[in-house]
Amino acid sequence: MTRIAILSALAEEQHGLLALLRQPQKIHRAGRDFWLGELHGQHVVLALSRIGKVAAATTATALIERFHVARIVFTGVAGGLAPGVNVGDVVVASGFVQHDMAASPIFPRSELPLYGRSLIACDEALSALLFEATCNHVAKAQAGFDAQERVMAHRVHRGLIASGDRFVSAATESTALCHALQAAGHEALAVEMEGAAVAQVCLDYGVPFGAVRTISDRADDQAHGDWSNFVREVASRYACAIMERVLRLLPKK
């Protein structure tokens, strides 16, 4: 049996997916709840990464070692970093970097020690599928908007996401982060706190990984206020709609 893992950082983001899960079975492992069941005709396991890279790596490792998942998809929220990546937009990851990895002068700045690289690419096919599903969902949602709402239409982006153990909540901080990443040759669209860790675990085990993050804030001085509202009101619905399309598009095994 092929099982797909769907990871969320927080219970609020997972809430809608859990409500739709058929024949749910809860298994407690490594201090976490893993929910096995069926969603839109696929065998899935829903799990919370929790927050930060180490917590996310623990969850990803358990998903692979204990539940033998065939692929992992992360759905959640992120702060917009690049110009034009605005609240309500969606970023489908092409790859991840850790913006707080700094083992220089032993290794080049931002390089993952002993990996010989700083960027970990997502699985190409899974990322393409997530992009297609997200574009479809956003286009359908916008068809229902009136003319004024359409002016603020949400965009779907595909590109690099930066992860680090820091909630970026000041414009000065996000500008400095962009400049540091650009100096290392990376144009990151968004910032969050888990994806690069899951990508690294998946690389180690050879498990395909993809991620889709809805932009909840601009990683600036308003980030905290925007973020908590957005996670409560919007993130869970986006995750449900996008994952429904992805699960229906994936071959049934």
* Closer residue to ligand ADE (CB): 123 or 192: 192
Tokens of 232: 């409560």
Least distance from ligand ADE to the Cβ atom of residue 192, Å: 4
Least distance from ligand ADE to the Cβ atom of residue 227, Å: 5
Check: CB of residue 234 under 8 Å from CB of residue 202. no
Distance in angstroms (rounded) separating the CA atoms of residues 87 and 81: 11
Selected catalytic residue, list 123, 217, 221, 226 = 217
Selected catalytic residue, list 13, 192, 194, 226 = 13
Catalytic residue list contains 217: yes
Distance in angstroms (rounded) separating the CA atoms of residues 169 and 189: 16
Check: CB of residue 234 under 8 Å from CB of residue 10. no
Q: Which residues lie near ligand ADE (CB under 6 A)? A: 77-79, 167-169, 191-193, 216-217, 219, 223, 227
Least distance from ligand ADE to the Cβ atom of residue 230, Å: 8
Q: Which residues of 56-69 are buried (b: 16+ CB within 10 A; e: fewer)?
A: bbbbbbbbbeebeb
Least distance from ligand ADE to the Cβ atom of residue 213, Å: 8
Element at 137 (helix H, strand E): helix 124-143
* Closer residue to ligand ADE (CB): 58 or 216: 216
Distance in angstroms (rounded) separating the CA atoms of residues 35 and 6: 10
* Closer residue to ligand ADE (CB): 223 or 246: 223
Tracing tokens 């065998």 back to the chain, one arrives at 43
* Closer residue to ligand ADE (CB): 95 or 164: 164
Coil/strand/helix, residue 119: coil
Active centre residues (catalytic): 13, 217
